[in-house]
Structure 1
Amino acid sequence: MIGTAPGGQGGVASVIEVLRQGGLFERESVRYLSSHREGSRGAKAGAAFNALWRTSLACLRERPAVVHAHAASRASFVRKSLLLLIARSSGCRTIFHLHGAEFDRFAGAESGAAQRWWIRHTLERSSVVIALSDSWAAFLRGFAPAARIVVVPNSVPLPPAIELDRTKEQPGRILFLGRVDAGKGVFELLEAVAALALSFPQVHLVIGGAGQLDQVRRRAVDLGIGERVSLPGWVQGADKQRELALSQVFCLPSHAEGLPMALLEAMAAAKAVVASTVGGIPEAVADGANGRLVAPGDAEALAGAIKALLGDAALRARLGDAARATVQERFSTEAALGQLSTLYRELAEGGQ
């Protein structure tokens, strides 16, 4: 398996950690190679070269049954496509596991004819392409008709019910987790919080993540909510669970997504969630049933959805409980690991 360094930032790293903690590596004798890590350009280049070298050696000397690459767009795709080419050339079965929220844009408007051919070729020559949702699977089937597409949603562990305690929630506290930039809807979220400040004097937004932190701080001050916004940086592990426990509402108003791990984690923690109608999100969140959905980029609608939740404890509890039930039924770690194990064994035994 090839992907970003375990323990790193972002959804792919979270996916890898779930698979590792769930026991997939031991169950299926998975060796993990990091092709990307956070840091300087030199550190990133070193990780990419190391993965290229180690993958080449493993494929030539040991012939692993399956090479499973977690990929996104742009540089991530380039790295993984080369590694999968090496694997195919060595006779290995390959899995291209797509996580990129903007892969449709990358494969379309951002790519010339030659690059589009290479993207399509990589997908169609892979033994299996994993999509995170039915909507992404539909796009991939249209873009690469000869590819074998399988849907394996992201999954998250379900915290024990005993750990869920809404008495810990702080009034008016809103949580965002993810990359901090315009594409995640952070600036619309700031506008929504500014609009809510008069109605909810205790409203406070926690933005957990790395990215455009200085721009966010400046915009919060310009909107008059500088003291209502906290930027703790990237949060994970126990710190993430603490932030989830303290929040009344989780909000992820992204402009593009695959199937975000942070959203599933908030749902598993029985939080009332507000998210946008992009990517695989509508396949996890049904508006009014287990969360609220708004159009991306619509700060007014975002403020309205958050306002309805902050002002109604019973509604928050109902949607939060339904969100947790959704994760338990459809996004459990056991189900995802079972699908991957089945794929591995089918490919190892000579499947397509």
Structure 2
Amino acid sequence: MSDSHLHARQTTRVAYLVNQYPSISTTFIRREIHALERLGHVVIRYGIRRPWVQVVDPEDKREESQTHYVLDLPIHVLLGSLVAVALSHPIRFLAAIRLAMAFYWNAGSLFRHLIYLAEATVIKRWSDRDKIHHLHAHFGTNSTTVATLCRRLGGPKFSFTVHGPEEFDRPIQLGLGKKIASSEFVVGISRFGCSQLYRWAEFADWSKVHLVRCGLDETYFDVAWTPPPTSPRFLAIGRLNEQKGMPLLMQAAAKLARDDVSFELTIVGDGPLRSTLEAMIREHQLQSHVVLAGWKTGPEIQSMIQQSRVLVMPSFAEGLPVACMESLALGRPVIATAVAGIPELVRSGVTGWLIPAGSVTRLCHAMTQAINVSEEEIVRRGNNGAARVRRRHDVRREAKKLSNRILGLPASDKRTSAVAPSPHDSRREIFPDDTAATSFVSSNTR
């Protein structure tokens, strides 16, 4: 077999479907797309709608210019697409209506699911036009509903990545089991995430569940190491809503201030609780301690991590936060709650401090420890974290896993072997990687 023929077999035309893309919180999708493109795949971007928040990062602006948005189309074009697919593929269209109704019975919104069906007809026609061989959706919510309906209409085979926590909060309403059954495969971003997919998939579909972690690229791995500041400077990154636990972090800051502890806290992000946090800053006189910085670009966040001593994540629910990976990759340990996939990355005494969710006392204790431990201890935990992230979250390695799944190759295919650690990286992970559960591929589980 010629090299050119072999190369042709190993690449294909893939479409990515995301509800809102790009956005400040989906840089991991952009990295994954770029890594697939470097592997030789042609990747077309489809979005349901444009981001609610204006895109400011130059990389994201380029992604937005390359993305086709369904809801940019006038309503008459959407309806025309619905009619055209109904007339050209009536049997498939009726099957898709039945599936939309099955989703509706669990979710309770017929109109919304008819809209999803109209959107699916657009994705079907775009996929035909763009000669798409495989469709991959991120998040098991409406984007995957559209991908599932598109497949029922005769569109390309599809897969999807589930991040959590929303999919695991509403698995029945989202029809998660039906989506897994209709897909070629489904991706969990952590061992915890995969376990939740097993919960809601039929046992016969367990073989479809695969682990592909969110990854970082050379902008984090090829950065010169900088020593952490000696000043007690904390950074928190996340949307300002209840789920991220930011009011609890503000309570912890107030307690530290009352105890005359010297510290600085910068919170990057925005959201519905901003006015609440501003009021808490005024109430507890934290103006000299806490700054609400709003959203920042990727390079700005990277710089802010390097200027901080420790990242703090007081979340009540998560998937596996990319901010944790970014902080550890740059050698900054993390204080985080023991929820979802976080304990797979953050280990107390090794890469940071792992605390129970919802405890102001334990959060204060961890922040106080982070202030008082030696610089050598901060460096040690940061270096351990950097080694673990390089081992587990290199986007080149993870994209190759995803590429293998898309192409139907074994995960360990030698032609797409894992990326070797950088010879310049002297940091070594001091605890072993967790091994995967046994694959459930067999003739009676297909």
TM-score of Structure 1 vs Structure 2, range by shorter chain? 0.7 to 0.9
Structure 2, unpaired ranges of 5+: 1-15, 54-68, 79-118, 410-440
Distance of 1:206 and 1:3 partners within structure 2: 30
Are 1:176 and 1:207, in contact at CA under 8 Å, matched by a contact in 2?
yes
AA partner of residue 123 (structure 2): T
Note if 1:245 corresponds to 2:306: yes
Deviates more, 1:325-334 or 1:46-55: 46-55
Note if 1:307 corresponds to 2:349: no
Shift of 1:343: 1.0
Distance of 2:221 and 2:393 partners within structure 1: 15
Distance of 2:222 and 2:402 partners within structure 1: 27
Distance of 1:2 and 1:79 partners within structure 2: 6
- Post-superposition Cα deviations, 1:115-138, rounded to whole Å, max 9, x if no partner, equal 36x332112111101011111111
Are 1:207 and 1:229, in contact at CA under 8 Å, matched by a contact in 2?
yes
Question: More relative contact order in 1 or in 2 (CA 8 Å, sep 6+)?
Answer: 1
- For the aligned residue pairs, the C-alpha RMSD in angstroms reads 2.5
1:189 alignment counterpart? 249
- Helix, strand or coil: the match of 1:27? coil
2:17 alignment counterpart? 2
Structure 1, unpaired ranges of 5+: none
Distance of 1:129 and 1:208 partners within structure 2: 31
Distance of 1:38 and 1:124 partners within structure 2: 30
Shift of 1:143: 1.2
Note if 1:123 corresponds to 2:184: no
Distance of 1:267 and 1:200 partners within structure 2: 29
Shift of 1:91: 5.0
Match of 1:260 among 321, 329, 343: 321
1:151 alignment counterpart? 211
Larger Rg: 2
Q: Measured at CA, do residues 192 and 221 of structure 1 come closer, stay the same or move farther in structure 2, by a change above 3 Å?
A: same
Note if 1:321 corresponds to 2:334: no
Q: Measured at CA, do residues 32 and 220 of structure 1 come closer, stay the same or move farther in structure 2, by a change above 3 Å?
A: same
Match of 1:33 among 18, 23, 46: 46
Q: Measured at CA, do residues 160 and 154 of structure 1 come closer, stay the same or move farther in structure 2, by a change above 3 Å?
A: closer
Are 1:255 and 1:296, in contact at CA under 8 Å, matched by a contact in 2?
yes
1:155-304 matches, within 5 Å, as 155-157=215-217, 159-160=220-221, 163-166=224-227, 169=229, 171-197=231-257, 201-211=261-271, 212-304=273-365
Distance of 1:47 and 1:263 partners within structure 2: 34
Shift of 1:199: 5.5
Note if 1:85 corresponds to 2:149: yes
Shift of 1:25: 6.3
Deviates more, 1:280-289 or 1:17-26: 17-26
Match of 2:132 among 57, 61, 64: 64
Distance of 1:238 and 1:170 partners within structure 2: 22
- How many residues of Structure 1 are paired with residues of Structure 2 in the alignment? 332
Shift of 1:79: 3.7
Are 1:157 and 1:268, in contact at CA under 8 Å, matched by a contact in 2?
no
- Helix, strand or coil: the match of 2:27? helix
Match of 1:330 among 392, 395, 402: 392
- Post-superposition Cα deviations, 1:199-228, rounded to whole Å, max 9, x if no partner, equal 665411111011021111111222231332
Distance of 1:345 and 1:121 partners within structure 2: 23
Distance of 2:130 and 2:330 partners within structure 1: 42
Distance of 1:162 and 1:59 partners within structure 2: 39
| Percent identical | 23
Are 2:161 and 2:187, in contact at CA under 8 Å, matched by a contact in 1?
yes
Distance of 1:19 and 1:93 partners within structure 2: 19
AA partner of residue 24 (structure 2): Q
Deviates more, 1:141-150 or 1:255-264: 141-150
- Post-superposition Cα deviations, 1:259-285, rounded to whole Å, max 9, x if no partner, equal 111111111111011111111111111
- Helix, strand or coil: the match of 2:339? coil
Note if 1:100 corresponds to 2:164: yes
- Helix, strand or coil: the match of 2:388? helix
Q: Measured at CA, do residues 259 and 36 of structure 1 come closer, stay the same or move farther in structure 2, by a change above 3 Å?
A: farther
- Post-superposition Cα deviations, 1:98-127, rounded to whole Å, max 9, x if no partner, equal 1232322112xxx5xxx36x3321121111
Are 1:59 and 1:86, in contact at CA under 8 Å, matched by a contact in 2?
no
AA partner of residue 9 (structure 1): I
Note if 1:18 corresponds to 2:79: no
Shift of 1:80: 2.5
Shift of 1:3: 1.4
